[in-house]
Structure 1
Amino acid sequence: MDLFSYFINNFDVVMQRTLEHLFIFFISWILSVVVGVFIGIYITREKRKRYTNLALTITGITQSIPSVAVIALIFLFMGIGKLTAIIALFLYGLVPIVFNTTSGIVSISPKIIEIAKGMGMNEKEILYKIEIPIALPAIFSGLRNSAIINIATATVASVIGGGGLGVIIFTGLSHYNAPIIFAGALPVSVLAIGIDIVLELFEKKWVSKGLINEF
């Protein structure tokens, strides 16, 4: 059986697994975005800046931890199921968002902040009108990295009951069947490329080119 024949004969299965994959990705990634951006902003506030370098060091080190290790650790505490997979993906996708949000904000020149204060802006105005707009390229880079990581890691999460396209891939591996493996791997690749393109379009829309060029 070739790849095309497998898709034709198992279209419903592939679509079901693709929707499962998108579900666990979307839920975990949205959680990572909300929590990660909040943490990145929170630890860069004036009263907590002493923790910023520590946070960057921890998140930098954490990015080197294999996804399988994170999934296995969460599995030990929560067992098998979609919720376990979502939490594991959420935690693993959190790291690049926190790192990029934090580094994007702290890399802004202190002179720009002083100028904003001199113009009478308060801390909240500086955050929303100065810091976040300037840090958006770094933040979007973290969002895109996190999305790609989650799409790929969701494949491995199938071994703990997460479902998704990983089920098809591991079925193909267990049967030494290349067409089945490709039937799972190809949609994962398409999803990763598609989501990255969509996020790139959002980045181009929301990031101020004039502000980036100026600073």
Structure 2
Amino acid sequence: MRLSLFDADGGKEALAPGATVLRGFARKRDIALLAAIEDVAARAPFRHMVTPGGFQMSVAMTNCGAAGWITDRSGYRYQAHDPQSGLPWPALSPAFLSLADEAATAAGFANFVPDACLINRYEPGTKLSLHQDKDEADYDHPIVSVSLGLPATFQFGGQKRADPVRKVALEHGDVVVWGGPSRLFHHGVLTLKSGEHPLTGRRRFNLTLRKAL
């Protein structure tokens, strides 16, 4: 279901209390964001992580910032070093930091300064199951999620996994911000459909900026 709760400027949609879709918010800075992703991946390559249950995730991931989110047979957690290289994760790009601050402010969360960014790379046929972002130390800070490349269907549910789920079509440059009463709502991405984007080819990239520590 495509949401239709627009504010006066037509670029903002209310998703739930504390959750907002900012349509096209990142589009004018897409080149800089994609260049920053490429720079991070050159130093901390994308990889398919394994869940504690032993399942390999279909979405490829990497991180930047003071801490990176990882999953392996030991569990879900943030850590300061890339387990593949033993080196600290690449620093957060200024392009990521400025976008996170401006998007969070536009959604009603001023003074947001993330210290971590999980970067997901989707290809046709991949998906991200419903989950909560709950490995962070403090839930008082929002999540800023940036879509780049192929369109996707974002799912946004509630506190319980069985709660009703809204389906939101996300395009290149759209940003979703959620916090406050929606901070621990379940969310995910349905299986990515095949397509071709002029900047990313057959891929979709998603940035999720968080205050992890």
Length-normalised TM-score, structure 1:
0.29
Work out which structure has the larger RCO, using CA pairs closer than 8 Å and 6 or more positions apart in sequence. 1
More helix by percentage: 1
Task: Determine which structure has more spread, i.e. the larger CA radius of gyration.
Answer: 1
TM-score by length of 2: 0.29
